[in-house]
Amino acid sequence: MSDKIICGIDIGSHKIATVVGIESKEYEELRIIGFNSTPSRGVKRGLIVDIDKVTGALEESVEKAERMAGHKISSAYVSVGGPHISSLNSHGVVAVSNPQAEISEHDVQRAVEAARAISLSTTREIIEVSARDYSVDGQSGVRNPVGMSGVRLEVDTHIITASTTNLKNIDRSLSDVGIENMGFIFSGLASAEAVLTETEKDLGVAVVDIGGGKIDLAIYVDGSLSYSSSIPIGAKHITNDIAVGLRISLDSAEKVKLYLSDLYKMHDDKLRKKITSPPPDFQGLTIPETISDMTPKTLVDGIIAPRLEEIYKYIGEELIKSTFADSMPSGIVVTGGGALTVQMIEIGKKIIGMPIRIGVPEKATGLVDEILNPQFSATIGLLYYGKKYMSTTETKDKNFNRILQKFSLNSSFTKLKDMFKQFLP
């Protein structure tokens, strides 16, 4: 096997992260050889709001990751998320092409294509079609029908769609930086690839990626992706609350927030003393007089906890909406930078009443120290998804269907142009 380079670009509202992985004969695992995270600009809740700013930040991140990897990035899998994402489950049925023989890969593809044929407005585009369950001649629960005999093949799929305008804007930024988009991957799905275990997926679990501006959520039931959505609230709201509550700048509020999550990691006895003793030590931050007698505990209980309770209420509502809330014995895996917020687990257990753990992309190998952080779950997940995609399909380009669509549009446009040319003198 020759060395394969796989790249991922995670365009978030807090950071733009680029990661370069290598798959080689030498190491079986995908090894990370380049990484960069740059503060994001021009992205709000997963939507591009200023394309030039995004392109600038993207260029900076890509260049730094290239320098670290010693490798030029020419193509990458790209994350996409936010409230413009929606999902539905769709069913496809086909007659097996040769009932005497086995069900072939081609039959499976036809069934998935049949499920994909949903009516979609021109402003939306399919970014993911994931098979949940196959039935052969009415027998459901088939994981892989290839090689089985039968006359009727059915498939239940989970389809994720996104706003065409936003995808086009991301494409514009990527092409300005000279990068070919290998495919859009829903951030919730990318995070799931990085943090969930196969057992969790089989039992039923929700991965909840709490970013700066939005929460991406993906639910797995019986090992398959069954629901995805996004909630327009994120960890930046906690920073805003601190800034307003303490009447300090957003930058200082962010420092206070990070300080508090560090502080609460302390051993219990030490912690108890520190969090209840005013004034809090905010690492040299200039804190206004009004709050100098506040303890860290009053800040956490009075400002952070109510916002976390609200965030979990939204998550709970989304789980109910999905109809899968009772099919997830593995509970919730929270990840994304927001998962590091102080009291995340405690408040989650109280509001949701399910097992909760923090998901870290710990399978990553290579240049990993900085990356073993929930903030980069979706970023690392892009590589795992890309690796899996490349090994299961002939084309490594997840955008193949999009390209085909564009190609057929282009060719009909060329035909139309040729037809008009006939009438020209």
Ligand X SMILES: Nc1ncnc2c1ncn2[C@@H]1O[C@H](COP(=O)(O)OP(=O)(O)OP(=O)(O)O)[C@@H](O)[C@H]1O
The closest alpha carbon to 12, from 310, 347, 382, belongs to 382
Draw the binding track, 326-355, toward Mg ion (x: CB under 5 A; -: no contact): ------------------------------
Draw the binding track, 13-32, toward ligand X (x: CB under 6 A; -: no contact): xxx-----------------
Alpha-carbon torsion (200, 206, 207, 210), positive or negative = negative
Angle at 17 between CA 11 and CA 19, to 5 degrees: 120
**Which of residues 13 and 36 has its CB atom nearest to ligand X in the complex?**
13
**Which of residues 194 and 246 has its CB atom nearest to Mg ion in the complex?**
194
The closest alpha carbon to 159, from 126, 185, 136, 135, belongs to 126
DSSP conformation class of 79: E
- Part in contact with Mg ion (CB under 5 A); list of ranges 66-74, 205-213, 340-348, 366-374: 205-213
Separation between Cα atoms, residue 71 and residue 5, nearest integer Å:
9
**Long-range own/partner contacts, residues 167-173 (CB < 8 A, 24 or more apart):** 167/80, 167/125, 167/127, 169/48, 169/51, 169/54, 170/11, 170/48, 170/54, 170/78, 170/80, 172/51, 172/55, 173/11, 173/48, 173/51, 173/54, 173/55, 173/58
What 3-state class would DSSP assign to 22? strand
Supply the minimum distance, in Å, between the C-beta of residue 291 and ligand X.
19
Supply the minimum distance, in Å, between the C-beta of residue 65 and ligand X.
16
Restricted to residues 333-392, the positions that interact with ligand X (CB under 6 A) are 336-338, 340-341, 375
**Which of residues 92 and 336 has its CB atom nearest to ligand X in the complex?**
336
- Part in contact with Mg ion (CB under 5 A); list of ranges 11-19, 36-44, 59-67, 345-353: 11-19
Supply the minimum distance, in Å, between the C-beta of residue 44 and ligand X.
9
* Count of residues touching ligand X (by CB under 6 A): 26
Burial class of residue 219 in the structure, from the number of CB atoms within 10 Å of its CB (0-12 exposed, 13-18 middle, 19+ buried): buried
Supply the minimum distance, in Å, between the C-beta of residue 219 and ligand X.
18
The closest alpha carbon to 348, from 326, 372, 316, 324, belongs to 316
Separation between Cα atoms, residue 180 and residue 80, nearest integer Å:
15
Helix H or strand E segment including 297: helix 296-299
**Which of residues 145 and 234 has its CB atom nearest to ligand X in the complex?**
234
Restricted to residues 131-190, the positions that interact with ligand X (CB under 6 A) are 187
Supply the minimum distance, in Å, between the C-beta of residue 136 and ligand X.
39
Q: Which of 21, 211, 361, 381 binds Mg ion (CB under 5 A)?
A: 211
What 3-state class would DSSP assign to 271? helix
Draw the binding track, 77-106, toward ligand X (x: CB under 6 A; -: no contact): ----x-------------------------
Supply the minimum distance, in Å, between the C-beta of residue 216 and ligand X.
7
**Cα-flanking dihedrals φ and ψ of residue 148, to 5°?**
-85, 160
Restricted to residues 247-306, the positions that interact with Mg ion (CB under 5 A) are none
Residue with tokens 């269907």: 401
Draw the binding track, 373-402, toward Mg ion (x: CB under 5 A; -: no contact): -----x------------------------
Q: Indicate which of ligand X, Mg ion, none lies near residue 154 (CB less than 5 to 8 Å, by partner kind).
A: none
Q: Which of 6, 7, 8, 12 binds ligand X (CB under 6 A)?
A: 12
**Which of residues 46 and 204 has its CB atom nearest to Mg ion in the complex?**
46
Largest distance between two CA atoms of the chain: 90
What 3-state class would DSSP assign to 107? helix
Separation between Cα atoms, residue 299 and residue 409, nearest integer Å:
57
Sheet holding 86-95, edge to edge: 86-95, 152-163, 124-136, 139-142
Draw the binding track, 204-243, toward ligand X (x: CB under 6 A; -: no contact): -------xxxx-------------------xxx--x----
Q: Is 296 a binder of ligand X (CB under 6 A)?
A: no
Restricted to residues 256-285, the positions that interact with ligand X (CB under 6 A) are 257-258, 261
- Please report, as ranges, the residues that interact with ligand X according to CB under 6 A: 12-15, 40, 46, 81, 187, 211-214, 234-236, 239, 254, 257-258, 261, 336-338, 340-341, 375
- Please report, as ranges, the residues that interact with Mg ion according to CB under 5 A: 12, 211, 378
